[in-house]
Amino acid sequence: MTAPIPFTVIGGFLGAGKTTLLNRLLRGAEGRRFAVLVNDFGALDIDGRLVAAHGGDTVALANGCLCCTIGDSLVTTLLGLLERPDRFDHIVVEASGVADPGRVADLAVLEPRLSRDGVIVVVDAAEVRARAADRRVGDTIQRQLKAADLLLLNKTDLANDLPALQVWLGTQSDAPVLEARHADVPLDLLFGLDRHGATAASPSSDTFASWSYTWPEPVDRDVLLAMLREAPGEVLRAKGIVRFADAPDRRSVVHLVGRRLEVGDEGPWGDTAESRLVILGLKPVLGSLQRE
């Protein structure tokens, strides 16, 4: 069986910046084939010169990515996508502005061909508090924030009082917060590492970086998982292929998105030399992790 395809859900209310983020993703895919399921690809900013094929509900891009319109049923659109002969490296779904993105991500748990990667909720820094207090949509917004593995706090340039907003977000959600303008964030922070494990080129910028660990000997499960669970808020993602001391003949996959930590099993350990874990996060904290 081929490895399951990582499945990411982008949630957030109308106007938060989901489409802007998806445009960045499609432009910055760099060799990875994303299938992106959106509510309206007319809203995407797809350069006509990059369109390889247009098939009604789908647009195939020259860089190997595919956009599909969700239409009336995400379930049938997703199943249709999985039946296609082409393989994708990552599937990203744009949840509707009123959907609970956590429920959408459940699909990846039900579908063996998918692995749940993360729920990213895009938040409009200028609007979110008013929306969350709205009589009719407030509870919807609150459910979205609660469902997030990572919050992308967008339009921070438009926020009145950013520190107060950060405090308030902390009361709504346990997810780490990544600040952005125009949804401009390093894509690897959101869409992670190569699906085959921690082998991708490490991304870096002024504000974030990656740190890679290797262990030649089997690793103590409790120690590693505790380290990840207790990692500071600036740690946004981690992925590793690990040989645990209590299961030395198994290839365990450790996966952290925001505060959601999962350990899976990918079969026998085989002849891989060492355990390897890559952490992505904001810079100052990685400095302290390095010291540990």
Partner 1 sequence: MTTTVYSARRIVTMNPNRPFATHVAVRDGRILGAGSLEELKGWGEVEFDTRFADKVILPGFVEGHSHAFEGGVWKFPYVGYFDRTTPEGKAAPGLKSIDEVVAALQAHEKTLPKGASLLAWGFDPIYFGGRRMVVADVDRISTERPVVIIHSNFHVANANTAVLAKAGITRTTNVHGIVKDASGEPTGELQEMAAKYMAYRAAGVEIAAVLSDEQAVWRFARVAQLAGVTTATDLHNELPDSTVEGYLKASASDDFPIRLLPAFAATAIPPAEGVTRLQALVKKNNDKLRFQLVKIVTDGSIQGLSARMRWPGYYDGTPNGVWNVGPDDLDRILLAYHREGFQVHIHTNGDEASEVGIEAVERALAAAPRWDHRHTLQHAQMADAGQFRRMKALGMCANLFANHIFYWGDIHRAKTLGPERAERMDACATALATGVPFAIHCDAPVTPIGPLFTAWCAVNRLTASGRTLGEAEKIPVADALRAITLGAAYTLKLDEELGSIDVGKRADFAILDDDPLSVPPEKLKDVGVWGTVLGGKVFEAPKA
Q: Which residues bind partner 1 (CB under 8 A)?
A: 14, 40, 42-43, 69, 71-73, 75-76, 79-80, 83, 96-100, 102-104, 106-107, 109-112, 136-137, 139-140
Please, what is the minimum distance in Å from the beta carbon of residue 58 to partner 1? Answer: 13
At which residue do the structure tokens 């924030």 appear? 145
SS3 of 280, please?
Answer: strand
Closest to partner 1 by CB, 83 or 206: 83
Alpha-carbon gap, residue 114 to 3, rounded angstroms: 8
Tokens of 84: 């296609």
Q: Closest separation between CB of residue 12 and partner 1, Å?
A: 13
- Separation in Å, CA 167 to CA 120, 129, 163, 241, 271: 19, 12, 6, 35, 47
Residue 187 CB, nearest approach to partner 1 (Å): 26
For tokens 């390889």, name the residue. Answer: 52
Given the structure tokens 């959907």, which residue do they identify?
A: 99
59 or 99: whose CB is closer to partner 1? Answer: 99
Pairing status of strand 5-11 against strand 90-94 = parallel
Q: Six-digit token pair at 217?
A: 């000997």
Nearer to partner 1 (CB atom), residue 3 or residue 62 = 3
Smallest distance, Å, CB 116 to partner 1? 10
CB of 139 to partner 1, least distance (A): 6
- Residue with Cβ nearer partner 1 (100 or 234): 100
Pick between residue 105 and residue 279 the one whose CB is nearest to partner 1: 105
